[in-house]
Amino acid sequence: MIEIQSDRAGELHVHSTPEQYVEFDAGRTSAQLVIETPGSVEVEEHDTSAVVALIEAR
């Protein structure tokens, strides 16, 4: 589970296999992610391509 808090709506791109996209609204949003392949997974804000999180999947 991830918690997203933002001042605007947007989308996250999760570079997992398979890739996942998480839409979020302004304010607080919760989303469930399933990471099946072990390793480092970058999460980037789709519009700016800024990496906002790095998930270590085991």
- Summarize pLDDT for 8-41 with one digit per residue, the tens: 999 999 999 999 999 999 999 999 999 999 999 9
* pLDDT score, position 10: 96
* pLDDT score, position 56: 95
CB under 8 Å to 26, separation ≥6 — which residues?
Answer: 6, 7, 8, 9
Q: How far is CA 54 from its chain centroid?
A: 9
Mean pLDDT of 45-58: 94
Residue 41 token pair? 């997974």
Q: What span, in angstroms and rounded, lies between the C-alpha atoms of 33 and 1?
A: 6
pLDDT-based confidence at 4, cuts 50/70/90?
Answer: very high
* pLDDT score, position 43: 97
Contact 16, 41 (CB under 8 A): yes
Q: What span, in angstroms and rounded, lies between the C-alpha atoms of 7 and 54?
A: 21
